[in-house]
Structure 1
Amino acid sequence: MKKLSCLLLLIITSLSVSSCFKDLDDEKIQASDLEIQDFIYKVMRKHYLYKAEKPVLADDRFSDNAERNAYLNTFMTPKDLFNGLLYSQDRFSFLVDNYRQLEQQFNGITKNNGMEFGLVQIQSSGEVFGYVRYILPNTSAEANMVERGMIFNRVDDQILTATNFKSLLSPDNYSIGLATFEDGTLTPLETSINLQKQQYTENPVFIANTLTVEQQKIGYLMYNGFRDNFDAELNNAFADFNADGIQDLVIDVRYNGGGSIETCNDLASMVTGQFNGELFSTQVFNENFSDEEVLFNNKISTGANINNLNLNKVYILTTGSSASASELLISTLTPYIDVVQVGTTTVGKFQGSRTFYDSNNFSRNGTNLNLGHTYAVQPLILKSVNANGFTDYVNGLTPNIEVSEDFSNLGELGNPDETLLKAALDDILGNGRPSRRNQSLNFKTLGESKMYNATYQRMYVGNE
């Protein structure tokens, strides 16, 4: 009888525990749209940089919660509300419905086939083609021998157009049909290459070499994303430059859409070093917050000492894909050293953002994190002003030496004869500056491979 009682107790206990686990894991209470929209509204009302431009975000806009809820209920979805709260000139704030994917992308983790490309439209004919910018190691593109400079005009046998390229290039698997582009003429080839995306972590320190040109040692860094989880790799590159005794430095951010403000500060401090403790930038927020000064520093995010070069001049290569923290690097160094910008005009993003979660203090680690949804808000919350008071470069930063990439002959990245690098080297060596060459007038830029990432052309501050 005693054994039977124990058995019954064990069964009842097991069912109870099983029921509890089911309640917690399998039957989470899904947050309502109103609940999510209330979170979005509160974030924007408190932190949005352009709060003053949106009367609906005024602190006294609603007399009570009922009136605010009535307003929120006029929007069908959280996305509709978010879009309705944006200032008309805001190109960069965004909302995500899965913050876990966003967090991965901030760390450089994406679904990627390894082919980083740009997309342009020929103005005279309206034809669209992609051109391969660079190939990531250990990817499908590398395995299938895709190379920088390849041209493609078809995806899964469909001709690329200005209206279908986003949908054709978004799947995990697709084939590209190669073409040639010579003397302004796009000619399809029979060759096609199959590519497959996989989860991939990209090291943004793509090339870090010391070039010896005419007996002069020149450092070349191709840096493709300001990501603090690779600060050590970036710092190691500068240790190598120091060891090699470089006399000049070329930083290539032509395809760099931005990232961490802290890492940008670190990179600027690596280039210099003699301005430690001086003003890097002033961060200007909305009326709810005071401005904050950010200073040049001498340690990276890991706590390691920065390997600095103490340079008084730096060359920075840019294109229309250089945005955010790439532009901040130019802006913040300009008051202190000679910055020679080579290439084409940048995007024009001087604002920073932060990720906000539905918790008591809007942080990931805050108490009462709402587990009923995975929405997060990434609004612009600040604008950066350099030590000379320069900001608001909405039309981008214009190069000192204007020269554009030649899609029909991109050249090898890091090779002294590659167009943009050669223009910088010629100026360093006193060989004269090239006559103005800008083929972008003949093309309309449509997009690039990183446009599918939520972090595309973003500059952000660290999250708590």
Structure 2
Amino acid sequence: MKKWIFVLLALGMVACSNDDGVDLPDNPNPDPDADVVVQNFMWQAMNLWYFWQGDVPNLADDAFTTDEEYTAFLASESDPADFFENKLRFSGDRFSFYSDDYTDLTNNLAGISRDNGMAFGLVQFSGSANIFGYVRYILPNSDAATKDVSRGELFTGVDGVTLTTDNYEDLLFGENATYTLNMADITGNDIVPNGKEVTLTKEENFQEDPIFLTEVFENIGGQTVGYLMYNRFLNEFDRELNDAFGFFASQGVTALVLDLRYNNGGSVNSSRLLASMIYGTNTEEVYVEQQWNDFIQEAFTEEDPDALKDFFASAVSSGVPVNTLNLDRVYVLTTRSTASASELVINGLNPYISVIKIGTTTRGKNEFSLTMVDDPNRPGAPFIYTPEREGSINSENSWAIQPLVGRNKNSVGFSDYDEGFAPDIELEEDLENLGVLGDPNEPLLARALQEISGSSAKRFFEVGMPAEPFTYSGMFTSLKDNMYLDKDIRLPERLLKNFQ
């Protein structure tokens, strides 16, 4: 992963004493002979950082009166995955997850995965366990880009086996590096196999470029319109994102269509940069503000309340000035796959400019996470992963957790969008007419251009077969719909006495 942007939370480092108002109980210690190394790491990290720590009785500071009681609790689930899910996770938490390989997880957060380059959605047939897939887009320089397959095509089977709700994970997301899709057509109201086959091979360590398309359309109601399809918030590509906005500025773009329909999230800082490229670079204006669990929130606000605020940016991490369009409105294309950092851009911009959402309701994910590994001695931030400390991670424990540790609210305090953002202009994607991405006749883009033009001659958009996936390929990577906080966090010394 690229080195993270270090924005030090300005918290005074105060020596632990009986007069500082904080009296932390000693952390319990498991029996060193018990096989609970992973479970112990998970509990310690969640007890300190988890957003819902105060709502999970097992994570209470006084949950265990003896080390023996604590050891028995850790050993109550032999599988760390079951332990995380059954003993630590809050019932209302939809998004925290784990990985048995932190290298795989951190690579995925950088957009690196085992991938054939075909992004797709999966739809269940009404009244049946059978499902079918539809191609959303093909990544450049991937295996799929060399094959006869394109956006809008359908498939009903893999290797001659009909896809169902019981087998699709093994067939499409299993250990098999290569599989053959059995393609299909829409005939009337039916999805019918057409005999075409497409064989795809997953490439190890494939890295997706999230800046999928940039286009400029001239004379749209007298305006020059920029179009950006951005499919993940990856801080490794912040410079390239800034270059795209430099291109828009050089072309005199006065309106922007931001296509986030398939963007399921990523870096909080990249979302801040994108918002700055759209709206402006006033570093005294708040983009979003973090909320943590009660214990950590109190510690932060006691020292410096502004430490929890992320302001609009004037430069990317390399120090290069942000290329901004200084717009007073933006048109955002959305679907149910629009999640986390994508929704953060919408929420963060809402107090400042008009955000016109076109498509369908977004996912509704407003919490951020941190990657945690078995590194309790990391200065200032126990357990939080950073590549510089790879050699300090417990060599006997490769597990990582990605717990939700906070929630972002915008500059007017709004963060309540668990149900997602409803569109201002509703238009579903149509399996009978998905269109070509970036083409002005593609329905969602065409609807946005129509709104920008203000033309009295309105095109009628009729949806014949709505695309209503129950899941999609992006949900089977470690990134999923995760939003992660990429800033250096330093807790006050007085909170860390258990980790010294």
Q: TM-score, normalised by structure 2?
A: 0.83
Spell out, residue by residue over 1:296-346, the C-alpha distance to the aligned partner (whole angstroms, 9 max, x if none).
111112221100010000000010111000010101101100000000011
Q: CA 1:85 to 1:434, structure 2 compared with 1: closer, same or farther past 3 Å?
A: farther
Distance 1:274 1:104, change over 3 A: closer
Q: Residues 122 and 444 of structure 1 are in contact (CA less than 8 Å); yes or no, is this contact kept in structure 2? A: no
* 2:320 aligned with 1:304: yes
Q: Does 1:233 align with 2:240?
A: yes
Query: Whole-Å Cα distance in 1 between the matches of residues 136 and 248 of structure 2?
Result: 25
Are positions 1:404 and 2:411 aligned together? no
Structure 2 CA distance for partners of 1:201 and 1:71, relative to 1, 3 Å: same
Whether the aligned pair in 1 keeps the contact of 2:430 and 2:467 (CA below 8 Å) is no
What amino acid does structure 2 have at the position aligned with 1:362?
F
Count, aligned residues: 434
Q: Does residue 293 of structure 1 match 2:309?
A: yes
Which amino acid counterpart does residue 448 of structure 1 have in structure 2?
Y
The offset of 1:53, in angstroms, is 1.4
Decide which of 90, 94, 98 is 2:93's aligned counterpart: 90
**What letter matches 1:56 in structure 2?**
N
Helix, strand or coil for the counterpart of 1:254? coil
Is contact 2:100-2:400 (8 Å) kept?
yes
Q: Report if the CA contact (8 A) 2:443-2:461 is conserved.
A: no
Q: In structure 1, what is the Cα distance between the partners aligned to 2:460 and 2:103?
A: 48
Question: For structure 1, which segment, 205-214 or 38-47, has the greater mean C-alpha deviation from structure 2 after superposition?
Answer: 205-214
Tell me the residue number matched to 2:343: 327
SS in 2 for 1:232: helix
Q: Is 2:155 the counterpart of 1:152?
A: yes
> Cα offset for 1:369?
2.3
Shift in Å at residue 368 of structure 1? Answer: 4.4
Partner of 1:220: 227
Q: Structure 1 length as normaliser, TM-score?
A: 0.89
Aligned to 1:58: 60
1:384 corresponds to: 408
Tell me the residue number matched to 2:69.
67
Aligned-residue sequence identity (percent) comes to 39
Is 1:424 paired with 2:448? yes
> Residue in 2 aligned with 1:113?
116
Whole-Å separation in 2 of the counterparts to 1:34 and 1:434: 63
Distance 2:200 2:392 in 1: 43
Cα deviations across residues 150-194 of structure 1 (Å, max 9, x unaligned)?
Answer: 111111111111221111102321000111124321111111011
Deviations 1:425-457 (A, max 9, x none): 1110113677786778x6652211112201100
Unaligned runs of 5+ residues in structure 1 are 1-29
Return the structure number with greater relative CO, CA threshold 8 A, min gap 6.
2
Q: Which residue of 1 aligns with 2:212?
A: 206
CA–CA distance in 2 between the matches of 1:163 and 1:137?
Answer: 31
Report SS of the residue matched to 1:323: coil
| Farther-moved stretch of structure 1 (426-435 vs 179-188) | 426-435
Shift of the alpha carbon at 1:123?
2.3
3-state SS, counterpart of residue 333 of structure 2: strand
The separation in 2 between residues aligned to 1:415 and 1:384, in whole angstroms, is 34
Unaligned runs of 5+ in 2: 1-31, 302-307, 489-500
Cα pair 2:34 2:71 within 8 Å, conserved: no
Match of 1:452 among 447, 451, 476: 476
1:375 alignment counterpart: 399
Deviation at 1:388, TM superposition (A): 2.1
Which residue identity is paired with 1:303?
G
| In the alignment, structure 1 residue 128 sits paired with structure 2 residue 119 | no
Equivalent residue, structure 2, for 1:26: none
2:359 is the counterpart of 1:343: yes
Asked if structure 1 preserves the Cα contact closer than 8 Å seen for 2:282 and 2:314, the reply is no
d(CA) in 2 for partners of 1:372, 1:287: 32
The answer as to 2:196 corresponding to 1:180 is no
